[in-house]
Amino acid sequence: MHELGIANSIMEMVLDEMSKKNLTIVNKIVLELGVLTDIVPDTLDFNFEIITKDTALANTKLEIKHIPLRACCEKCSVEFEVENFFFACPACHSRQVRVTQGEELNVAYLEVPENQNGNGLPVSR
């Protein structure tokens, strides 16, 4: 269950960023997740929700953007989306391909309230 370790790493990274930027609220964490990472999104989301329960991220939503698997043919340079894990060029049928996308595991960005001032506190009006 490596999803728990990944959820923990995401939590620590975001809490560290919140500390550096003096933020108190993060509404959403957008995560880019490639299909080759072998991570189960629902399990990751469940683990994230459990471990952040008593933290500043308790109400933070984890949004997962799925990154499709793409490759480039080493023979004819055609770039294509790999379907059903069939690693063959659709143009020349060569199996000499290089994966160009689908291994990502990145925190793309954090969504924070617009009314959060430099001290990390919501601005009262």
At residue 1 the predicted structure's pLDDT band, cuts being 50, 70 and 90, is: low
Q: Is residue 116 part of a domain?
A: no
Report if residue 88 sits inside a domain: no
pLDDT in the model for residue 123:
45
Share of the chain above pLDDT 90, in %: 89
* CATH number (domain holding residue 34): 3.30.2320.50
Q: Residue 124's pLDDT band (boundaries 50, 70, 90)?
A: very low
Q: Tell me the per-residue pLDDT of 18-75, one tens digit each, with 9 for 90 and over.
A: 999 999 999 999 999 999 999 999 999 999 999 999 999 999 999 999 999 999 999 9
Tell whether 124 is covered by a domain: no
Q: What is the pTM of this model?
A: 0.82
CA distances for 57 relative to 13, 48, 122, angstroms = 11, 9, 15
Structural domains of the chain, count: 1
| Adjacent-strand bridge partners of 28 | 61, 111
Residue 73 confidence (pLDDT): 98
Whole-angstrom distance, CA of residue 84 vs CA of residue 9: 30
* Pairing of the two strands 70-73 and 79-81: antiparallel
For position 119, what pLDDT does the model report? 59
Q: What does the pLDDT read at residue 125?
A: 41
**What's the domain range around 54?**
2-68+101-111
